[in-house]
Every structure is written in C-alpha cells, then in structure tokens.
Amino acid sequence: MTDVLFRVKSRALPVGRRAWIMGIVNATPDSFSDGGLALDPQRAVARGLALAEDGADIIDIGGESTRPGAEPVPAAEEIRRVLPVVQGLRKRTAALLSVDTTKAEVAEAVLDEGADIINDVSSFRLDPRILTLAARHGAGFVLMHMQGVPRTMQVQPRYDDVVAEVKAFLAERIDVAEAYGLSRESIIVDPGIGFGKRQRDNLALLAGLRALTELGRPVLVGVSRKSFIGKILDSPPEDRLEGTIAAAVVSLVNGAAILRVHDVKAVSRAVRVAEAILAGADGVIPPREKTGGYVH
C-alpha cells in the first residue's frame, strides 16, 4: 500500500506503507475489557506513557464507554475524566493524542489542551458542532460507522451488503465533513467493528476491508479483545490476545493503516513480522523510527 497523507495541526504525516498502532486508555469505570483500570488520572497517564514506550504512535483516551448497552455520560463528567489525562500526557510525550468523544464540549476542552485527533464513534451525527471545532484547530478526525447508538446498537442490526453500506456511509460522511470545513486530508475512516454489527457482519467487513481503502483515506480498525473474537475462541475479553493479533494481521493484509489495540507491544511485534513478509526478500520496509513519539 502506498502512503496516504494525514494532516494533523501543523504536521503532514505519511500513513500506509507501515501500520500505525493506536493504544487505548479507557478512563472509564465500565469499558468492556478494562473498565476501571485507568480511572485514576495518574494511572491513566502512566498507562499512556507505557503504551508510547511499547510502540504506540497514537494514544486514544476515552471517558465514556461505548460498549454495547452503555449509557451516555454527561459532558462535565467526561471532561473530568479525560482532561487531566490529556494534560499529563501532553507534558510528557509528543505522541499523537486522540480523544474518543461525540461531544463538542469535550472536544473543545481537550483540543485547547493539546489533543491532536477527535475519534467520534457517531461520525458527528450526535453533535455536528464537533466538526467546526476540529476544523478550527486543524485536528485530525476519525469517522466511524455505527448502526444506532451504543445503548441500542446490538438490538437486531441488519444489512443487505455490509461492506457496500459501510463504505457508502463513510463516503457520505467525508463529503459532509468537508462541507463543514474539515480538510479531507485530516480524516481517518473506521468501519466500526462490533458497533451495530452481527458476527457475520464483522467477519465480512474484515475480509472486505480493501474496499474501504478506495475512499482514499487511512483505514483504522479496532478489533482488540472484541466479542466476535470471544465467540470464535469461546473466551473472555482478557483471554483474547491471540485472536486480536490474528485479526490485526489480517486487517493489515487487507489494507488497514491504523490498528487500535490494548496490547500494543504484542500487536506491534506481530505486525513488524507480517510487514517484513509482505515486503518480500527485495521489498523495502520504512525504518520504524520515531520522531517525538510518533512515526515520521
């Protein structure tokens, strides 16, 4: 895969020939896999720094669980959870900082404190003001597909052709985001594995991921510890590492540019081997050098 330019604030970064790793910091009490483990800001900052040390190019911080059935959190509480984490990490790492939120109030607070990317699972359908804020700050923006909202998304989701429908949705969201003033080069797209999807839909999306690369934007895939892996392996979230690695490598082969994971070190090492194999004996892999905490 050739590089796609990703613009975030004053940076123009090539993404594609080597996968980026997005590490997860859940500053929540109820996330499906690790809720409560990083609820204390100091522990959350320590986790983020450890993820950067393990090879994360982006640290994604969330203050509201988006697991199936999750209830929304007031903006003030979400800010209370994530703002100290952004502030603490910004002082100690130059890694790209992403905040997982659907609320303009939260986005404004974290962007003012140095966050680089807004990761919006609703693709700004819940609060269109978030786009204007992102555009004004020159921030990156993740557009994700989700059928419904977290509280109801797993209540009988249906698709005729999940790959085509997700692709069409993301194409439409890109166009609307541009109309709001967001640069196309600042956009990342995410098919939303597990967000309003049946088991067959998740597997079909991962198998057909290459179609989403035709949108011309980096494709982010979040498969880490998710329930589709649990159904295959009959295992709880904390026992899904091997399945996560397998799904991450398949996603890479099928065109993913960014992998969102809990287990950064293990996935990063697996991806390095996969990339070397894909490059072949005469292939050239860009060196995994870091500049200030992110791939350059």
Q: Which positions are annotated as active-site residues?
A: 226, 260
Long-range contacts of the stretch 265-269 (C-beta < 8 A, 24+): 265/54, 265/55, 266/241, 267/21, 267/224, 268/21, 268/54, 268/55, 268/56
Strand-strand pairing, 187-190 and 220-222: unpaired
Q: Are 253 and 271 in contact (CB under 8 A)?
A: no
Two structure tokens written together for 137: 């700050």
The 3-state DSSP class for residue 46 equals: helix
Q: Determine the Cα–Cα distance for residues 296 and 287; give it in Å rounded to an integer.
A: 9
Identify which of 67, 57, 27 has the alpha carbon closest to the alpha carbon of residue 296: 57
Distance CA 182, CA 23 (A): 25
Residue 58 · residue 20 · CB < 8 Å:
yes
Sheet containing strand 58-62, strands side by side: 187-190, 140-144, 117-120, 96-100, 58-62, 20-26, 258-261, 220-222
Q: How far apart are CA 116 and CA 70, in angstroms?
A: 26
